[in-house]
Structure 1
Amino acid sequence: MKLQQLLSQTRKAIDEYQMIQDGDRIAVGISGGKDSLTLLYALSNLRRFYPKKFEIEAISVNIGFDGVDMSEIESLCRDLNVSYTIIDTEIAKIIFEERKESNPCSLCAKMRKGSFNEKAKELNCNKIAYAHHKDDVIETLFLSFIFEGRLHSFSPVTYLDRMDLTLIRPMLFVSESDVIGFKNKYNLPIVKNPCPADGYTKREYAKNLVKQLSDEHPGAKERMFTAILNGNLQGWPQRILTKRI
């Protein structure tokens, strides 16, 4: 996927769900993975010509594993003219050494989000952006359906009243395969996830399940995504469809 295609799909989500207004300061969560770096590229380039003026701040939460080198991401942020902040924490020590969590993902995510949100507020951001893409939306619905007994997937826009922050997901219409293509084409400086639980989660199970269904029934993934968009899921904002020139 070329940058122009990424910007087109990102802008489609931003426009149809009114994610950005004039004067917004948006904190972009940077994990070091392909998704968050693709989002960084999208928003840093989109701000140059989008009619509503906004600023971005890139933020990474270092959970404390040894040997994680973010220097190439720091260099990328300089090239993109984006301010970058790394938050050092002891989340890994707390979860794996002190608490010895057998199912660490939920607590880790909660602690990472807490650190990220606090830094976003400190940097005077009113919005935060996550890099969830189209496949994440579908997989989340499967997780909720199978393990929680409800039809739910995260909303494109969510107001976090406790933090007075609005969470946006501008890559809603971008598929994971396109993210992989973008990563390869632009040689994104990926930082490997050092977590021992990576790849052994319920989300990985849902990802494999969706892939199997898509392989056996071509077009199934797109139909599932369309069903979600048209499903009037609780918490989703109104979608405003406009003709694109």
Structure 2
Amino acid sequence: MKLQQLLSYTRKAVDEYQLIDPGDKIAVGISGGKDSLTMLYALHGLRRFYPNSFTIEAVTVDLGHPGFSTEPMANLCRELEVPYTVVPTQIAQIIFDERKESNPCSLCAKMRKGALNEAAKKLGCNKVAYAHHKDDIVETMLLSLIFEGRFHSFSPRTYLDRMDLTVIRPLMFVDEADVIGFWNKYRLPVEKSPCPVDGYTKRQYAKELVKTLSKEHPGAKERMFTAVLNGNIQGWPQRMPRIR
């Protein structure tokens, strides 16, 4: 996927779900993975021409895994001239060494998002961008159906009243396969996840399930994604016509 197509998908999400308002200062969470680095490129590129002017700040929450380096991300941010902040934490130590969590993902995500949101507030940001893409939305819907018994997925835009922050997901129309293509084409400095349970989670199960369904029933993922968009899920903003 070329940058132009990435920007088109990103603008579609921003326009249709009113993700960016004039004067927004957006904290862009970057973990070192392909999704978040692609989002950084997308929002950096969108700034050049989007009618609602906004600024971005890149933020990495360092979980404290041994061997994890933020230097490649720092170099990329310098290249893009995007301010960059690293938030050091002991989340990995707390979860794996002290608590010895057998199912660590939920607690880790909660602590990581909490650290990111606090950093965003300190930086004067009013919005935080998460790098969830189309596959994430479909997988989350399946996880909710299978393990919670409800039709649900995270919203393109969510207001956190306790933090007075708005979470946005500008990659919601981008396929994971396109993210991989963008990563390869633009040689993003991706850091391999040091998490010891990476690839052994319920989300990985949902990812494999979507692949199987799409192989056996071509177009299944797109139809599930359309079902989410049209599902009148509680908390989702109204979808608006695109700005031309």
Distance (Å, rounded) in 1 between the aligned partners of 2:193 and 2:243: 40
User: What is the distance in 2 between the residues matched to 1:116 and 1:38?
Assistant: 18
Runs (5+) with no aligned partner, structure 1: none
Indicate the residue corresponding to 2:136 in structure 1: 136
Q: Does structure 1 residue 208 correspond to structure 2 residue 208?
A: yes
| Alignment partners' CA distance in 1, 2:23 and 2:211 | 40
- SS of 2:68's partner is coil
The one-letter code of the counterpart of 2:3 is L
Task: Give me the TM-score of the superposition, normalised by structure 2.
Answer: 0.98
Letter of the 2:54 partner, please give it.
Answer: F
- 1:226 aligned to 2:226? yes
Deviation by residue 1:48-94 (Cα, 9 ceiling, x = unmatched): 11110000000001111111112111111011110011111111111
**Cα deviation 1:137-196 (Å, max 9, x = unaligned):** 000000000000111000000000110000000001000000000000000000011010
Describe how 1:130-209 pairs up with structure 2 within 5 A: 130-209=130-209
Does residue 118 (structure 1) correspond to residue 106 (structure 2)? The answer is no
Deviating 4+ runs (over 3 angstroms): none
Match of 1:109 in 2: 109
Shift of 1:243: 7.0
**1:85-124 deviation per Cα after TM superposition (whole angstroms, max 9, x unaligned):** 1111111111111111111111111111111100000000
Aligned length: 244
2: distance between equivalents of 1:45 and 1:168? 17
Matched, 1:93 2:88: no
- Unpaired runs of 5+ residues, structure 2, are none
Q: Match of 2:74?
A: 74
Cα separation, 1, equivalents of 2:136 and 2:213: 15
Q: 2:217 — aligned with what?
A: 217
**CA displacement at 1:129 relative to structure 2:** 0.3
Matches of 1:139 and 1:224 in 2, distance apart? 10
SS of structure 2 residue aligned to 1:57: strand
| 1:8 equivalent in structure 2 | 8
Instruction: Give the counterpart letter for 2:7 in structure 1.
Output: L
CA root-mean-square deviation: 0.8
**Residue number in structure 1 paired with 2:54:** 54
Q: Deviations over 1:192-231 (max 9, x none)?
A: 1101011110000001001100000111111111111111
TM-score by length of 1: 0.98
Q: Distance in 1 between matches of 2:205 and 2:141?
A: 13
* Aligned partner of residue 85 in structure 1, secondary structure: strand
Q: State how far apart, in whole Å, the 1-side matches of 2:232 and 2:78 are.
A: 41
1:22-37 alignment runs, 5 A limit: 22-37=22-37
CA–CA distance in structure 2, aligned partners of residues 99 and 21 of structure 1: 41
Query: Aligned partner of 1:53: which letter?
Result: S
Aligned AA (2:218)? P
Q: Is 1:242 the counterpart of 2:239 in the alignment?
A: no
